[in-house]
Amino acid sequence: MECCDRIHEYIERFEAAIFTVNRRLNNIIRDSIQEELTLDQFLTLRYIHKHGSCTASELSETFCVNRSATTAITTRLADKQYITRTPDERDRRMISLRLSEKGKQVYETAASRIHERLEGIIRQLPQTEIEQFLDTSERLLRIITQGGGNER
């Protein structure tokens, strides 16, 4: 029952830690990508790079934003010639988003700078703590995506 007695304390600590870590990591990423991209544009390029291609609807769902926000981001990336839009061969109404060669280069350069910055931070932790943190974070993600943790 101790967990339940301290739940408010845990929530406050969790919110404070997550908020601050996210803000600081986002600042590290912004500093690393400099003027080339916004944070949202970089995250979009990262997603497309990881998956090879995707649709705007997939991006909207993944990033939990409305379709108009995704359209604005992808339009800017297309204007910079970082992504290409190609009609799907099976369903011409679907548009497939892919990285252009220029987009791959910009993404890989930015990702490399981010990796260098984050590596210095992560190396300060013992491997067991890193793995425990990642396991717990991935478990929390599964709980949130499978039902939001609202079950009682």
DSSP string, 79-125: HTTSEEEEE-SS-TTSEEEEE-HHHHHHHHHHHHHHHHHHHHHHTTS
Q: Where are the beta strands (DSSP E) in the chain?
A: 83-87, 95-99
Domains of the chain, residue spans: 2-147
Measured distance CA(117)–CA(119) in Å, rounded: 6
The pLDDT of residue 104:
96
Q: Which residues of the chain have pLDDT under 50?
A: 1, 151-152
Stated pTM of the model: 0.82
83 C-beta neighbours (distance < 10 Å), count = 25
CATH of domain 2-147: 1.10.10.10
Q: What is the pLDDT of residue 3?
A: 62
| Amino acid 149: pLDDT | 53
Whole-number pLDDT of residue 1: 46
pLDDT at 4: 73
